[in-house]
Amino acid sequence: MLGGFDSFGKLLMLIGLILLIAGAVFHFGGKFLSLGRLPGDIHLEKGNFSFHFPIVTSIILSIVLTILLNLLSRK
């Protein structure tokens, strides 16, 4: 009867671990990785207006996450 909750608990722990790792990368990785400041990221600044769109960073993160999720989801 509790078999469904057991797998759900494991899923929640896995999601928590992934969020913990992602948080550590964003917190400590700013010193080592220049995510958000890659060549090709759009940054416009005019007067008191500033616009930043990290398009290249988004593409790279999308590719990396797609590869990781494909590797993790294979059975």
pTM: predicted TM-score of the whole model, two decimal places? 0.56
Structural domain containing residue 22: 1-33
Q: Of all helices (H) and strands (E), which one includes residue 59? A: helix 55-73
Q: What is the mean pLDDT of residues 6-34?
A: 81
Domains contained in the chain, number: 2
- 40-66: pLDDT as tens digits: 889 999 999 999 998 988 898 899 889
Do 39 and 68 belong together in one domain?
Answer: yes
Structure tokens at 63: 């590719």
- What's the number of CA atoms in the CB half-sphere (13 Å) around residue 34? 6
Do 69 and 38 belong together in one domain?
Answer: yes
Q: In angstroms, rounded to a whole number, what is the distance separating the alpha carbons of residues 47 and 34?
A: 25
In the prediction, which pLDDT does 68 show? 84
Mean pLDDT of the chain: 83
Between 10 and 66, whose confidence is greater? 66
User: 14 falls in which pLDDT band (50, 70, 90)?
Assistant: confident
Q: In angstroms, rounded to a whole number, what is the distance separating the alpha carbons of residues 3 and 62?
A: 34
